[in-house]
Amino acid sequence: MSEPTRLRALLRDWVTAVRTPAACNEAPAPSVLSIWDPIHLGVDEYGRAVRVTLAYRNALLAGEPGAGKSVGLNCIVGHAALSTDCGLWLFDGKLVELGLWRTCAERFVGPDLDDAIDALDALQTEMDRRYDLLDTERRRKVTPDDATHGIEPVVVVLDEVAYYSATVGTKTQREAFSVAVRDLVARGRAAGIIVVAATQRPSSDIIPTSLRDLFGYRWAFRCTTNSSSDIVLGAGWATRGHTAADIAPEDKGVGLLLAEGGEPCRIKSAYLSDEQVYALADHAAALRARDAA
């Protein structure tokens, strides 16, 4: 198959996966997605598609190294990248996980903690500007209509949040980073700032309860203990039979997804190979460049 044909087929499959079956039958596959659309994450134990709407929500992904967080994160970042109605800010201390999507990012932050804090400051400033505007217009939250005057959702993805909050830099810098993240997670949703954070350290120093509870979606990949699973999902789920410690080490990509108000649901994330990620990232970058022109 030629490269353009292969890319078209890949995009068609991707868009088909995230659209409802009814919509798929009705319309030709569009070339772009919207951040207001549900995001396809994978399938549940019955083979049903699992989709979540990220607008007005935040998401936390955590689990032991190699459990499948980056693959799960790619589903979210891929959808956001192809959604030209949102900005994409990527933070990746390792560079190589989210780096594949770098060409689609409005801002890409690598291992420099000062740069990370600077980027979070800019997001806080934008959040405050939006709240001033909403206040002036006597509204509670941004909507898709705000795109007409340049206010679009911003998806902020932090891969290995512990790298910035607990590993590099000085104590003061790490605290500044953590305070800014907490503020964005706590206040950002109505202003269209969506935070997606991932960590391979599901411990209470990295994910304190007060922060964890602000995430509407919590996706626990395999954890080593019931208590680390509860740190991701919330206290008490393990004793009620929902623990990511039960996931077998060989079940890569399997995790428990807790969506607001529900019970944790066991799902297997959709899988994008690096080759597919690059193809999607190139296409998304071209769409974004076209829109920006």
Ligand X SMILES: Nc1ncnc2c1ncn2[C@@H]1O[C@H](COP(=O)(O)OP(=O)(O)OP(=O)(O)O)[C@@H](O)[C@H]1O
Instruction: Give the residue ranges of the annotated binding site for ATP.
Output: 63-70
Q: What is the DSSP letter of 33?
A: B
- Give dist(CA 50, CA 41) in Å, integer: 6
Contact region for ligand X (CB under 6 A) — 65-73, 115-123, 256-264, 276-284? 65-73
**Helices 274-292 and 3-18: crossing angle, nearest 10°?**
90
Binding residue for ligand X (CB under 6 A) from 34, 58, 70, 84?
A: 70
**Does 69 interact with ligand X (rule: CB under 6 A)?**
yes
Rg (CA), the chain: 18
**Does 165 interact with ligand X (rule: CB under 6 A)?**
no
The tokens for 289 are: 């460049």
Whether the Cβ atoms of residue 199 and residue 222 lie closer than 8 Å to each other: no
Binding residue for ligand X (CB under 6 A) from 252, 266, 276, 278?
A: 252
**Does 253 interact with ligand X (rule: CB under 6 A)?**
yes
Residue partners of 211: CB distance under 8 A and separation at least 6: 181, 182, 185
**Does 40 interact with ligand X (rule: CB under 6 A)?**
no
Query: Closest separation between CB of residue 194 and ligand X, Å?
Result: 20
**Does 268 interact with ligand X (rule: CB under 6 A)?**
yes
Residue number, 165 or 200, with CB nearest to ligand X:
200
Binding residue for ligand X (CB under 6 A) from 60, 67, 194, 220?
A: 67
The tokens for 284 are: 């998304």
Query: Closest separation between CB of residue 169 and ligand X, Å?
Result: 21
**Does 266 interact with ligand X (rule: CB under 6 A)?**
no
Query: Closest separation between CB of residue 163 and ligand X, Å?
Result: 11
Burial label for 39, CB within 10 Å (0-12, 13-18, 19+), is buried
Residues at the annotated binding site? Answer: 63-70
**Does 71 interact with ligand X (rule: CB under 6 A)?**
yes
Interaction residues for ligand X, span 183-222 (CB under 6 A)? 200, 221
**DSSP strand pairing (265-269 vs 39-44):** antiparallel
**Does 269 interact with ligand X (rule: CB under 6 A)?**
yes
Residue type, 241: G
**Does 30 interact with ligand X (rule: CB under 6 A)?**
no
**Does 66 interact with ligand X (rule: CB under 6 A)?**
yes
Tokens 């607990």 correspond to 166
Beta strand extents in 124-279 (DSSP E only): 154-159, 193-199, 217-221, 254-259, 265-269
Count the neighbouring beta carbons within 10 Å of the beta carbon of residue 150: 6
Query: Closest separation between CB of residue 201 and ligand X, Å?
Result: 9
Contact region for ligand X (CB under 6 A) — 18-26, 136-144, 185-193, 267-275? 267-275
Residue type, 230: D
Phi and psi at 100, nearest 5°, equal: -60, -25
**Does 99 interact with ligand X (rule: CB under 6 A)?**
no
Phi-psi group of 206: left, alpha or beta (phi > 0 → left; psi -120 to 50 → alpha; rest → beta)? alpha
Residue number, 161 or 180, with CB nearest to ligand X:
161
Q: Which residue has the closest beta carbon to ligand X?
A: 253
**Does 68 interact with ligand X (rule: CB under 6 A)?**
yes
**DSSP strand pairing (217-221 vs 59-62):** parallel
Q: Which residues bind ligand X (CB under 6 A)?
A: 63, 65-71, 200, 221, 252-253, 268-269, 271
